[in-house]
Amino acid sequence: MPTIAFDATDRKDLLDRFLRYVRIDTQSDENSTSSPSTEKQKDLSRVLVGELKQLGCVDATVNEWGYVFATVPSNLPAGHPKAGKVPVIGLLAHMDTYHGTLGAGVKPQLIQGYKGGDITLPGDERQVIRFSDNPNLAKCIGHTIVTSDGTTLLGADDKAGIAEIMTAVAWLGKHPEFVHGPVSVGFTTDEEVGRGTEHFDVAAFGAKYGYTLDGSDIAEIEDETFCADSALVVVEGHDVHPGYAKGKLVNAVRVAAAIVERVPREFLPETTELRQSYLHPYDLRGDVTRVEIKLLVRAFTEEELRERENALRAVVREVQGAFPGARIAVEVKESYRNMAYKIAGDPKVLEYAFEAVRRMGMEPVRRAIRGGTDGSRLSFMGLLTPNIWAGGQSFHSVQEWVSLEWMAKASEVTLHLLQVWVERSAA
């Protein structure tokens, strides 16, 4: 069994893949009703299918929704005591980037042998990744740091995860002496708009257990996500000529502003952390006649989620009283639920990930995600899917950055994980 450790060539290949992927614009669109929400996501799909075939995944394919699937067959010899006993393990990441920050024309910047201190981004010198605001930079001194030029996001969320999985697949091909069970690879579209598993066929994917590689710090294994709903508040006013509006005009813009203003400050994402829930008004559009307000509702339990939704309804009732001529409606839709509810029923999927981290000489850090991954929905669809770190930092921002060394460790832990599944599976 070879030592699971990347050499300089492996790390260069990982970096080259990542830089290639982030230059492909895959921004999703939450206002689109098509699937995928943007056709340009398939540009990366086609690239990945071609590369997977080159790596020996002859069944690599992209479907009509832009999902990429491939398999790496088990190489356990027929006489091996674990042959046929190791479950199919799924490795997943998403191709789209955040819809709220420019994702086209990414110009990645490399800082090799990072020496510490602030990082000024060359495309917009007002954008500075401050050492004091990014404590993980202190852990990455000496590393190769990748950023954008400050005019776009970088796309490490989640092209770091894609590059890490692809590099793990390449490593398996170069090391046939490393025995492993069957692996299913899946890259999804539209995760950032909450539709990453909308057309995902768990049975066809074939995995018994799965792992996403997405975001997070080195050694982090995440088995909890928010419970998530989306809320839409629709305000209907009454428009008349402002010169003759006294006693007649009902301005939906002012009503909407009053609703946003009355959301309790202690419920906002900018005032909450750790396991605290939030209400996030993130999109407001319309005119005097009609305004739509979109909000994210997030909490780690369904009970607290209901509390936040009731708080929103209370705000709406208060504003309705102040603007009796307006019509205000609230619609809440379920997005996803905390994967911990499902993973708790079969915790070995988590425990084996912890063991893989320990084999790399690190202590695993169990964390709850203040967000969600495709694993949230997949866990409720029957595929338990905790999250392994991919290394990205300050995602959704033009100040996004990632350490190549953290990315390499994510690939390596994935390989250790496959080893653990072979060893722990019943003979």
Is 96 tagged catalytic? yes
Residue 218 lies in a domain: yes
Helix (H) or strand (E) holding 375: helix 374-380
Mean pLDDT of 170-194: 96
> Domain span at residue 287?
227-335
Residue 167 lies in a domain: yes
**Which residue would you say has higher pLDDT here, 426 or 379?**
379
Q: What is the pLDDT of residues 200-225, one digit of tens each?
A: 999 999 999 999 999 889 999 999 99
Residue 2 lies in a domain: no
Catalytic residue, chosen from 25, 51, 96, 222, is 96
Confidence of residue 181 (pLDDT cuts 50, 70, 90): very high
* Cβ neighbours for 123, distance < 8 A, ≥ 6 positions apart: 107, 148, 149, 150, 151
Chosen domain end from 335, 355, 380: 335
**Cα 12 from Cα 81, distance rounded (Å):** 36
Domain containing residue 346: CATH number:
3.40.630.10
Domain check: are 358 and 242 in the same one?
A: no
Domain check: are 326 and 345 in the same one?
A: no
Q: What is the pLDDT of residues 259-303, one digit of tens each?
A: 999 999 999 999 999 999 999 999 999 999 999 999 999 999 999
Catalytic residue, chosen from 10, 191, 223, 355, is 191
**To the nearest whole number, what is the mean pLDDT of the chain?**
96
Chosen domain end from 268, 302, 335: 335
pLDDT at 132 over 80: yes
Domain check: are 327 and 359 in the same one?
A: no
Domain check: are 116 and 262 in the same one?
A: no
Tokens for 241? 């000529």
- Structural domains of the chain, count: 2
Please tell me the predicted confidence (pLDDT) of residue 134.
97
Is 191 tagged catalytic? yes
* Cβ neighbours for 190, distance < 8 A, ≥ 6 positions apart: 28, 35, 36, 37, 41, 66, 94, 96, 196, 198
Domain check: are 221 and 258 in the same one?
A: no
Confidence of residue 3 (pLDDT cuts 50, 70, 90): confident
Mean pLDDT of 132-159: 98
Residue 1 lies in a domain: no
Residue 54 lies in a domain: yes
Chosen domain end from 335, 365, 393: 335
